[in-house]
Amino acid sequence: MKNKRIYLCDNSIDGIFTAIYLAWSSRYGHSNIKIEEKYEGSKFANIELFAEYIVVDTDYNLSKKVADSIKKKISEEAYEMVCRVALSYYEGKADLIYRFLILAFAVGPTITERLSNEIVNRMFRLDRNVGREAHHLLGFIRFSQHADGLLISVIRPKNDVLTLVTPHFADRLSQEKFIIYDENRKLASIHIPGRQWILAQLPKLEQEKLDEIWGIDDEYSNLWKIFFKSIAIKERTNPKLQRNNLPLRYRSYMTEFKI
């Protein structure tokens, strides 16, 4: 029996695709291979004793080859699904994507319909989880206004959804300068009118600085709180339903829940 071979890759779609390309072309046998995405801090937590580790350097050319063949041989839909799953917070997604692709290249475009298959079903559920969070955030993101009309929003999403939500705001607020800051990943998307929006890695911000950015109140944020309060039907107060629809974790950066 061969030793298990583990490809350790960056936690990004390109990192995962690069690893898949290398794993596949190694002809080492799918069942002897595992792909793991790297997480900050937890790198060697589950190290397997008798496995051979290969650290993968992300290579955009290889990644693109994988992307192209998914689109060509499977489907655009499957490609999008894989991309969203790659943004999931689920640990082990790299190997799941690998297993999914093994299956998908064999089955072809109809793979996304095979919901009764265990692997496809798990992909489907993660995809939905990422999609849902992104959709929630389209509504739950709050901007506060700063000097010069700059709009700043701070979020702490479970999944890495910044790239999914920013296009919506770039379209909607095309004339505005805005920043959406993902505090969990120290990642920000920045939009300036007339230009393509960009992603930037930011250094960790001090809590104080964050509060300062976030804590700005103006006439309209106060009016919003007034509206939020008076639109509720007091006799039907229902915190359980409210919590069900709007989980507590979103509220820490929503204007109307700030005291």
Partner 1 sequence: MVILETMSLQRKLEILSDAAKYDVACTSSGVDRKGNSLGMGNSVACGICHTFSADGRCISLLKVLYTNECIFDCKYCANRASNDIVRASFTPEELSELTMEFYRRNYIEGLFLSSGILISPNHTMELIIETVRRLRQLHHFNGYIHCKAIPGADPALIELLGWYTDRMSINLELPTAESLKQLAPHKNRKNILKPIRQVQIGKKLFTDYKGVTPYSDRPVMQAVNVLTDTAGLPDLTGMTDSVGMAISNGISDGRPEPIAASVNDNSYKDNDIKDIIRTGSSLAPYHNRPATKRSFVPAGQSTQMIVGATDESDYQIMAVAEALYRNFDLKRVFYSAFMNVNQDPRLPSTEDGPPLLREHRLYQADWLIRFYGFTINELLDERRQNFNLLLDPKCDWALSHLDRFPVEINRADYHTLLRVPGIGTISAQRIITARKSAALDFEDLKRLGVVLKRAVYFITCKGRMMYPVKLDEDFISRQLLAVKERLPFGIEKDLTYKQLSIFDDANFKLANHDLVGGFLITGS
Sites of contact with partner 1 (CB under 8 A): 110, 113-116, 121, 135, 138-145, 151, 153, 168-169, 171-176, 220-224, 226-242, 244-246, 254-256
Which is closer to partner 1, CB of 115 or CB of 199?
Answer: 115
Q: Which of 147, 232, 241, 137 is nearest to 180 (CA)?
A: 137
CB nearer to partner 1: pick between 23 and 161: 161
Least Å distance between CB 67 and partner 1? 25
How buried is 69 (Cβ within 10 angstroms: 0-12 exposed, 13-18 middle, 19+ buried)? middle
Strand ranges of the sheet holding 52-55, from the earlier edge strand across to the other edge: 33-37, 5-9, 52-55
3-class DSSP state for residue 184? coil
In whole angstroms, the minimum distance from the beta carbon of 184 to partner 1 comes to 20
**What CA–CA distance (Å, rounded) separates 105 from 20?**
13
65/146 with CB nearer partner 1: 146
Q: What share of the chain is helix, strand, coil (3-state, %, to 5)?
A: 55, 15, 35
Instruction: Using DSSP, state whether 127 is helix, strand or coil.
Output: helix
CB of 234 to partner 1, least distance (A): 8
Comparing CB distances to partner 1, the nearer of 22 and 180 is 180
Tokens of 144: 């506060």
Q: From the CB of 219, what's the least distance to partner 1, in Å?
A: 8
In this complex, which beta carbon is closest to partner 1, that of residue 61 or of residue 244?
244
Q: Please give the Cα distance from 10 to 27 (Å, whole number).
A: 22
- Whole-number Cα distances in Å, 125 to 117, 128, 206: 12, 5, 35
Q: How far is the CB of 162 from partner 1 (least distance, A)?
A: 15
Looking at beta carbons only, is 205 or 216 nearer to partner 1?
A: 216
Distance in Å, CB of 86 to partner 1, minimum: 23
